[in-house]
Amino acid sequence: MPVKNRFAELMPEITEWRRDLHEHPEILFETHRTSAMVADKLRAFGCDEVATGIGRTGVVGIIKGKSNTSGRTIGLRADMDALPILEDTGLPYASKTPGAMHACGHDGHTAMLLGAAKYLSETRNFDGTVAVIFQPAEEGGGGGKEMVDDGMMERWKIEEVYGMHNWPGVPTGKFAIRSGPFFAAADQFDIYVTGKGGHAAKPQETIDTTVVASQIVLALQTIASRNADPVKQVVVSVTSFETASKAYNVIPETVHLKGTVRTLDPAIQDMAEQRLKEIAEGAAAMMGGAARVDYRRGYPVMVNSDAQTEFAADVARAVAGDCAEAPLVMGGEDFAFMSNARPGAYILVGNGDTANVHHPKYNFNDEAIPAGCSWWAEIVERRLPAA
């Protein structure tokens, strides 16, 4: 079965929704306009229930099938938030909000799930219930956790959950997925280095925090090269190095380092956290200074359940003809909170040869809409076959 004809008919309308969302991006939990638009459309489609304010600004629509002998509910999730990026696409529907941009395609995810919700509300050719989940704050805010903590799974008795993300570099409308660990755990750290400041011409009278912090930055790379099993993935990146001085002739009293740790294995995550603290504190002490580490666990590893992944890949093959094996991704994805709460699967849909996500020239490829909508609809109709 290729893409559903109904989505070819709906494509101009879904594209219009997507471009409107692109034009009005909202950050983290501040998705007030987006959430209101989603809720209004779900009501207009005839959803049996539309709940707002789930996980602060999340929206859940409930669609009941023609029958419910299965008694089952499955969830379909899309993210709604944008990024704090200044857009540089020159598109006629470019962001009207300075410093905010849909640079990850969440506008496309939201529009595609709305399209699937419209179709499912029209046809109801399934036995059971569908929860269409529209989540805020995927980009660092943990909106998925907020919705789960708000009791979403229990309230609607959701048994399984499925998500999707567009992927530049994969042919438009094609799919890729993998079972098991897929997206990495994403942790953050701050390291505060303290020494003794002074005049740059008299370094012997100081404890040079710039040198201390530089040693820490280099030594942290041994976590991957000398502490981790070579077949286990770990990335330690220092992304900010800020001293207390902006002068040319001052050795600063303090340095502040920021960074991220990405892992796909809980044991490696534990090891990386422990070694990061030991290395920072030890390197600073060795040179007469001190280091204080603030390490924060972020999104957990996103794991695709085996049975749900196999099913999701079968549906993708039915829609697009094939489904590739996706690579491991060291980026984080807070769908992990939902797939930790219930069995689930997360799939990539091709965005074609476009700028990469999180780039100021990125744009979601509207040509992927029919395939994405069809995959979500087929997930429902195959998982909850009509009685």
Asked if residue 165 belongs to a known ligand binding site, the reply is yes
Instruction: List, in order, residues 6 or more apart from 315 with CB less than 8 Å away.
Output: 375, 378, 379, 382
Asked if residue 47 belongs to a known ligand binding site, the reply is no
| Cβ-contact 257, 238 below 8 angstroms | yes
Max CA separation in the chain (angstroms) = 84
Closest listed residue to residue 137, CA positions, set 127, 147, 128, 129: 147
Q: Which helix (H) or strand (E) holds 320?
A: helix 306-320
Q: What separation in angstroms does the CA of 278 have from each of 135, 191, 283?
A: 37, 12, 8
| Cβ-contact 312, 177 below 8 angstroms | yes
| Cβ-contact 309, 178 below 8 angstroms | yes
Neighbours of 297 (CB within 10 A): 12
Tokens of 101: 């941009």
Please measure the distance between the N-terminal and C-terminal CA atoms of the chain and give it in whole angstroms.
20
Q: Which helix (H) or strand (E) holds 8?
A: helix 5-23
Report the C-alpha gap between 322 and 76 in whole angstroms.
Answer: 21
CA atoms within 13 A on the CB side of 335: 31
Q: What separation in angstroms does the CA of 7 have from each of 12, 346, 349, 370?
A: 9, 21, 16, 5
Asked if residue 106 belongs to a known ligand binding site, the reply is yes
Report the C-alpha gap between 251 and 229 in whole angstroms.
Answer: 38
Asked if residue 256 belongs to a known ligand binding site, the reply is no
| Cβ-contact 368, 354 below 8 angstroms | no
Asked if residue 16 belongs to a known ligand binding site, the reply is no
* Binding-site residue ranges for Mn(2+): 104, 106, 139, 165, 358
Residues annotated in a binding site: 104, 106, 139, 165, 358
